[in-house]
Structure 1
Amino acid sequence: MRSRHLSREIAESPREVYEFASNPANLPAWAAGLAAGDIVQEGEALLVESPMGQVRVVFVPDNDLGVLDHDVTLPSGQTVTNHFRVLSHPHGAEVVFTVRQLDLTDEDFERDCARVEADLDQLKGLLESTF
């Protein structure tokens, strides 16, 4: 099983990046690989219309460490843990998302990485043009 750490530097404070990225209402604006439509809060979980169908997403509780890890339960019932961090960087913040191959083919793994790269680019673009 391979893992790939994908990152982007963002010229905003880690706190601003964390607050924007952790707000469920902002997910459709930057996380097209996860949220392609409506989001419904159900307790601590989010029911999200995604490109994969409806998924259940549970983020770790709000924290001061920049941790945005989240479990995604797919329509198949499989749960995937995604590791996502907002780190301090000399030029603002750096976001780091870990993609794991798990049972994906090499082609599907590369496709997932490309989707995450596009989402991180979108997050960077939105934050650097908004704040």
Structure 2
Amino acid sequence: MLTHPVRNISVSIDCSAARVYRFVSDPRNLPQWATAFCKSVREEQGDWIISTPEGEVQIRFAAANELGVLDHVVMLAPGVEVHVPMRVITNGAGSEVLFTLFQLPSMSAAKFAEDAGLVERDLNTLKRVLEENAVA
């Protein structure tokens, strides 16, 4: 079995898992916290289109659920999809957001490290946004 190098990145947030899930599962909130990836987002005929530093991509999210699953698929080009596992779980009175980053075969070690740093930055931005704002 062929596996890829992986990095699991997480952040603790002093907000309930339900609140974090509601915020993160709404694609319209991406530009507020996923700033390394998402410059803007729009819905087009039921699809979500994200403007990224590398151009536009389509993104499809897991169906709404009570388990905290925030998985999404990023369609980079026709037939080129990247599955991104993501979860929010209860951690005491707060929550933990977990993001799994895979190093794809075409990705250099340097690019993988850079992407991991960007994910960490975005998760810390998510933490700041949710902890500083009293969004219900």
Q: Which of the pair has more CA radius of gyration?
A: 2
* Deviation of 1:42 (Å): 3.0
**Equivalent pair of 1:36/1:49 in contact (CA under 8 Å):** yes
Match of 1:11? 14
Match of 1:34? 37
Which of 2, 21, 24 aligns to 1:21? It is 24
Which of 49, 54, 58 aligns to 2:51? It is 49
Which of 125, 128, 134 aligns to 1:125? It is 128
**Equivalent pair of 2:28/2:41 in contact (CA under 8 Å):** no
* Deviation of 1:33 (Å): 2.9
TM-score between the two structures when normalised by the length of structure 1: 0.93
Match of 1:107? 110
* Deviation of 1:76 (Å): 6.8
Q: Report the Cα distance in structure 1 between the residues aligned to 2:77 and 2:122, rounded to whole angstroms.
A: 21
Structure 1, gaps ≥5 residues long? none
SS class of match (2:69): coil
Which of 70, 92, 95 aligns to 2:94? It is 92
Structure 2, gaps ≥5 residues long? none
CA-based RMSD: 1.3
Is 1:66 the counterpart of 2:58 in the alignment?
no
| Letter in structure 1 aligned against 2:48 | L
* Deviation of 1:47 (Å): 0.9
**Equivalent pair of 1:3/1:101 in contact (CA under 8 Å):** yes
- Give the share of equivalent positions with the same residue, in percent: 38
TM-score between the two structures when normalised by the length of structure 2: 0.90
Moved over 4 A (4+): none
